[in-house]
Amino acid sequence: MGMIALSGSMCIFLKDPIKDPKCLMFFQRVARRSLAWLLESHWIAARDTAAEAGDGVVTYIPEGTQLLNVKVVGATALIDVSKDFATGGGSLSMMGRIAEIVYTATSFSEVKRVTIRIGGVSVEQIGGEGIDVSDIGRSDYMDYSPIILVDSPVPHQAVSHDIHIVGMSNTFEAGINYQVISAEGTVIFEGYTMASSGTGTWGTFDHLIETLPASVIGDVVLKVFEYSPKDSEPINAVFIPLTIV
């Protein structure tokens, strides 16, 4: 198996059939390992890890699927999986499993596109409805992303008082709000930034929170959200537990 070492946050994207059968949730680990390791971890995580089971996440990748090889050419990850990957399920399941792989692989900043091979054979499409698996990216599966998706920091990461938040979103007027919340539930710090696009157009955000009080140490929760344009209530919130060191 090709073990391609890439830097960056490690994100394992799974399905959340309870809250929204189409929407990807993401389970993330803090580590710097290979893309091959990450992809292999992806489809055993929901079955073998109690934390993911407790969160109600599952994978649409069929049991028995094996990762045969991974290599990165330019900005494209070439991911070879066994024939099990292309079996069973309808179009929603097929699109879901492809989206999981695409979002997981592109959590590495070096990877922008993905091509999935089946049993060592290059194919353009899989499934009865012919779903593309060649040269695909996040832009092809935006319907499977939550409105606010934070790629970094990852849950349970140890961070400094300068917290760098990176992700993508499609919020009203591109607004991104955030709060740092203590273990007791008190809002320690809050602020605002903007994504590159919004209000129907996906954009990205890259912002440094650099004004946390020096007294803030230990476990906190980073809440990233937007305020509803209808009633000014927080919506589309993402909660990320962190440790300030």
By three-state DSSP, how is residue 139 classified?
Answer: helix
Give the span between the Cα atoms of 145 and 22, in whole angstroms: 9
Task: Read off the pLDDT of residues 64-102 as tens digits, 9 standing for 90 and up.
Answer: 888 888 888 899 989 888 899 899 888 888 988 888 888
Q: Which residue has the tokens 């607004």?
A: 175
Instruction: Give CA 135 to chain center in angstroms.
Output: 19
Alpha carbon distance, N-terminus to C-terminus of the chain: 37
pLDDT band at 110 (very low <50, low <70, confident <90, very high): confident
Domain 148-244 top-level CATH class: mainly beta
Task: Read off the pLDDT of residues 153-195 as tens digits, 9 standing for 90 and up.
Answer: 877 788 999 999 999 999 999 999 999 999 999 999 999 999 9
Tell me phi and psi for residue 207, to 5 degrees.
-140, 140
Task: Read off the pLDDT of residues 34-68 as tens digits, 9 standing for 90 and up.
Answer: 555 555 554 444 444 434 444 445 667 787 888 88
| Mean pLDDT, residues 5-12 taken together | 38
Q: Measured over all CA atoms, what is the biggest interatomic distance in the chain, rounded to whole angstroms?
A: 58
Could you state, in order of their start, the residue ranges of all structural domains in the chain? Answer: 10-144, 148-244
